[in-house]
């Protein structure tokens, strides 16, 4: 199957899952997770109709952006963002999905203010409390959300989560449901400068379950581009 055929088939599956969840497929964005895929592959995914591209590594983002790989699509940053790389992504990415500390929020705000822009971000939640993962624990969210008011050049637009790697169908549904509940609770509390527009969850193996539990932004990599072959140096 080509990238174009894969995107078409995923869009159909999203349509079906959205309908079953009682929402419009137009309200569910498909973010192509483009890591390890070159500019030509990215361009094919964009012309096949993905809503945005999600990049994990700053260097890969900068390289592909210089090649004009993302032309026609918004760019999301979805990987772990180191503090010393903030200046390289603010203003280039439409949404930084992986903000996992108040310090990072502060640095993003500083850079966005300097550029005279408002930077949209999502807060990444470590919903299963895994030691190996970055992201805020659910009980750390409150502190960061109440800080958002101090950072007028940042817009907190929602939450993102990467649940545990799972091979069993449906295993992550309770985590997706937990994320949805968090987003509803946050919306009710009406923090200043916090908007719960986006709930980014669901990947190749589980995006339909995520949509069933209220996701409106799925990040799909291997189901679009095929299995990733990591270079030896990265293993």
Binding footprint of ligand PLP on the chain (CB under 6 A): 33, 35, 56, 78, 162, 203-205, 219-223
Q: Which is nearer to ligand PLP, 105 or 162 (CB)?
A: 162
DSSP per residue, 185-209: HHHHHT-TTEEEEEEE---TTTHHH
With CB atoms as reference, the residue minimizing the distance to ligand PLP is 221
What spatial distance separates the first Cα and last Cα of the chain, rounded to whole Å? 27
Report d(CA 76, CA 59) in Å as an integer. 14
Toward ligand PLP, which CB reaches closer, 147 or 157? Answer: 157
DSSP 130: -
**Residue whose C-alpha is closest to residue 119's, from 148, 93, 100, 85:** 93
Looking at the Cβ atoms of 193 and 204, the one nearer to ligand PLP is: 204
Closest separation between CB of residue 76 and ligand PLP, Å?
9
Q: At its nearest, how many Å lie between ligand PLP and the CB of residue 213?
A: 16
Nearer to ligand PLP, 111 or 219 (CB): 219
Please, what is the minimum distance in Å from the beta carbon of residue 43 to ligand PLP? 19
Distances (CA, A) of 75 to 3, 34, 137: 19, 10, 26
CB of 218 to ligand PLP, least distance (A): 8
SS3 229: coil
């Amino acid at each position: 199957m080509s990238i174009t055929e894969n995107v078409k088939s995923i869009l159909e599956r999203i349509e079906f899952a959205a309908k079953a969840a009682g929402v419009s497929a137009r309200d569910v964005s498909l973010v192509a997770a483009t890591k390890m895929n070159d500019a030509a592959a990215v361009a094919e995914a964009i012309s096949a109709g993905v809503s945005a591209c999600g990049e994990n590594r700053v260097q890969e983002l900068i390289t592909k952006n210089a090649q004009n790989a993302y032309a026609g699509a918004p760019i999301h940053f979805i990987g772990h963002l180191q503090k010393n790389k903030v200046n390289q992504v603010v203003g280039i990415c439409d949404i930084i999905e992986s903000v996992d500390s108040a310090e990072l929020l502060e640095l993003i705000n500083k850079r966005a203010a300097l550029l005279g822009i408002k930077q949209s971000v999502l807060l990444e939640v470590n919903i299963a409390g895994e030691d190996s993962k970055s992201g805020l624990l659910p009980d750390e969210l409150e502190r960061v959300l109440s800080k958002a008011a101090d950072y007028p050049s940042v817009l907190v637009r929602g939450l993102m989560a990467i649940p545990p790697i799972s091979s069993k169908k449906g295993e992550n549904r309770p985590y997706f449901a937990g994320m949805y509940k968090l987003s509803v609770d946050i919306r009710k509390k009406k923090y200043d400068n916090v908007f719960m527009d986006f709930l980014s969850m669901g990947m190749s193996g589980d995006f339909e379950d995520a949509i069933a539990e209220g996701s409106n932004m799925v990040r799909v990599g291997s189901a679009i581009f095929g299995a990733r072959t990591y270079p030896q140096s990265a293993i």
